[in-house]
Homo-oligomer: A and B are copies of this chain.
Amino acid sequence: MGGDAPSLWLADRSELVLTPGKAHRLYRLESGLVRLYTLDDAGLGVTLRFVKRGGVFGEEALTGRPRRYFAEAMAPSVIEVLDPASMGDAELRALVTTLAAALDDVGMAMHRTATKQLAPRIAALILELADSDLATRDSDGLPVVRITHHQIAMAAGSVRETATKAIGDLARLGAIYVGYRKVTVRDERLLREAAGDD
């Protein structure tokens, strides 16, 4: 990279942008939404974290370790390739904060995965996505997440049939509306309670 202008990478919705293997580059998401995940023994996705606008991924390049995860664009995304060697003090401080927040995100996801209940995990997932570039607002100002039950199941490490039941539970609770290829946050407070957030 050296003194070149930052290089930008445009990813389509559902595009696989990184796969496990040798890691060389650090990336910052200018806009869009990226999911980092591994696959369990049954081939189900284990979501490590979501990278939102301003977030960083590919940090394993800084450690010399291989990348262990897949990265998928969940919305059309603009990705900037960073050169850590040329970062100044302010950029390094911002990177430290971003990585610290990512650690907190993964820690929360791990806690939810260990508690093994699907509905709280899906509630947390919808809250997370409602606060991302995947979400729009409906005419009442409610956040609408454009996602299928299959995608929700994959992101929550489950299968569609089971996820659909949990999504139905959240809808009956009054926390969300479920539409065709979309979920609307009807009552954020209820959804946070369902997610078990403090």
* A interface, CB within 8 angstroms of B: 36, 38, 40-41, 46, 48, 59-60, 62-63, 65-66, 68-69, 84, 89, 92-93, 95-97, 99-104, 106-111, 113-115, 117, 157, 198
- Given A41-B115, A92-B93, A107-B68: A100 touches B46 (CB 8 Å cut-off): no
**A65 and B111 contacting across the interface, CB-CB below 8 Å:** no
For A42, the closest partner residue in chain B by CB is B115
Out of B38, B95, B99, B117, name the residue touching A107 (CB < 8 Å): B38
B102 touches A103 (CB 8 A): yes
When all copies of this chain in the complex are counted, the total is: 2
A46 and B110 within 8 A (CB): yes
Q: Are B110 and A110 in contact (CB under 8 A)?
A: yes
What does DSSP make chain A's interface, helix, strand, loop or mixed? helix
Name the 5 nearest CB pairs between A and B, nearest first.
A59-B100, A99-B99, A46-B114, A92-B92, A62-B100
**Complex CA–CA separation, A89 to B65 (angstroms):** 22
A60 adjacent to B100 (CB under 8 Å): yes
Residues of chain B contacted by A99 (CB below 8 angstroms): 59, 96, 99-100, 103
Q: How far is the CA of A92 from the CA of B63 in the complex (A)?
A: 14
Pick the contact of A104 from B68, B104, B114 — CB < 8 Å?
Answer: B68
Chain B residues positioned under 8 Å from A113 (CB to CB):
110, 113-114
Contacts of A101 in B (CB 8 A): 63, 65
Known contacts A63-B97, A114-B40, A115-B41; is-contact A107 B106 (Cβ 8 Å): yes
Question: Cβ of A69: which chain B residues have Cβ within 8 Å of it?
Answer: 107
- 10 CB-based A-B contacts, threshold 8 Å: A38-B107, A40-B115, A46-B110, A46-B111, A46-B115, A60-B103, A63-B100, A68-B111, A103-B106, A110-B113
